[in-house]
């Protein structure tokens, strides 16, 4: 088995497939992609909220798929449909709950240190896109709440000239955004976010007190 691109014959080294594979495996070898160990400082319950948010998203998508199987009017007219709509709603509440607690933890840990800026950026963008996904979900309910949210939401979007491109009163458009486009965007961003975490590892602690004091007296502020 080849262990590196340099062991391959020249014509294979030049292949696009080889290039992609070597870069991917180089950045994330299996033991880095799915490690069975973590640094010793990963010992707090705050660390479970990222995976809890991921689990919430899985339940959101699964319940959403069941709602999608039976179409947008199903949950209004059957008890079982109403039940799965409830799962979907509460999973969304849990998703935002766990995501925000995860965000607070990452902020207080300054988790962007050590070249992890993109991890923070991707997570922040996920949060904002998820708000958009939730917005289109509320618009897709086909009840009074969705009517009101559409009539109010149109003013914000129209005021900056994008209300005709993204027409909140167009159920077909909002439903398509909600069921396909935004879940794909959220999922892709989360995959990128998790791969970045695996690549850089969980951010280590700030320097300990004595070291920080020594550095402050000597060479400058701690990292």
Residues between 130 and 149 with contacts to other proteins, criterion CB under 8 A:
131, 134, 138, 141-148
- Which range, of 4-12, 21-29, 57-65, 185-193, touches other proteins by CB under 8 A? 57-65
- The residue within the footprint of other proteins, chosen from 29, 71, 172, 217 (CB under 8 A), is 172
Would you count residue 82 as binding other proteins (CB under 8 A)? yes
By CB under 8 A, what part of segment 189-208 binds other proteins?
A: 201, 203-208
- The residue within the footprint of other proteins, chosen from 173, 181, 185, 192 (CB under 8 A), is 173
Distance between CA atoms of residues 19 and 6, nearest Å: 11
- The residue within the footprint of other proteins, chosen from 20, 162, 188, 216 (CB under 8 A), is 162
Distance between CA atoms of residues 27 and 112, nearest Å: 19
Whether the CB-CB separation of 189 and 126 falls below 8 Å is answered with yes
Distance between CA atoms of residues 88 and 93, nearest Å: 9
C-alpha distances in Å from residue 99, one per residue of 3, 104, 105, 141 = 39, 9, 10, 23
- The residue within the footprint of other proteins, chosen from 10, 11, 37, 217 (CB under 8 A), is 37
Would you count residue 159 as binding other proteins (CB under 8 A)? yes
Distance between CA atoms of residues 78 and 68, nearest Å: 14
In 3D space, the residue among 124, 120, 175, 126 whose CA is nearest the CA of residue 146 turns out to be 175
Non-local (6+) Cβ contacts of 73 within 8 A are 142
Q: How far is the CB of 170 from other proteins (least distance, A)?
A: 4
Binding mask 97-136 for other proteins (x = CB under 8 A): xx-xx--xx-xxxx-xxxxxx--xx--xx--x--x--x--
Would you count residue 158 as binding other proteins (CB under 8 A)? yes
């Amino acid at each position: 088995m080849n262990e590196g691109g340099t062991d391959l014959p020249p014509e294979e080294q030049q292949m696009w497939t080889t290039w992609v594979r070597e870069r991917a495996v180089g950045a994330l070898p299996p033991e880095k992609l799915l490690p069975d160990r973590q640094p010793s400082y990963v010992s707090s319950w705050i660390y479970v909220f990222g995976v809890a948010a991921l689990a919430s998203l899985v339940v959101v998508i699964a319940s959403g798929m069941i709602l999608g199987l039976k179409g947008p009017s199903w949950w209004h007219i059957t008890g079982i449909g109403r039940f799965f709509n409830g799962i979907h709603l509460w999973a969304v509440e849990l998703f935002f709950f766990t995501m925000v607690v995860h965000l607070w933890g990452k902020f207080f840990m300054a988790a962007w240190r050590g070249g992890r800026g993109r991890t923070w950026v991707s997570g922040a963008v996920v949060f904002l896109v998820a708000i958009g996904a939730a917005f289109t979900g509320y618009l897709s309910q086909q009840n009074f709440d969705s009517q009101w949210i559409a009539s109010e939401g149109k003013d914000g979007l129209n005021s900056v000239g994008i209300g005709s491109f993204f027409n909140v009163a167009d159920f077909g458009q909002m439903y398509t955004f909600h069921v396909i486009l935004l879940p794909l965007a959220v999922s892709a961003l989360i995959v990128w976010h998790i791969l970045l975490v695996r690549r850089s590892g969980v951010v280590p602690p700030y320097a300990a007190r004595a070291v920080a004091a020594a550095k402050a007296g000597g060479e400058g502020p701690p990292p």
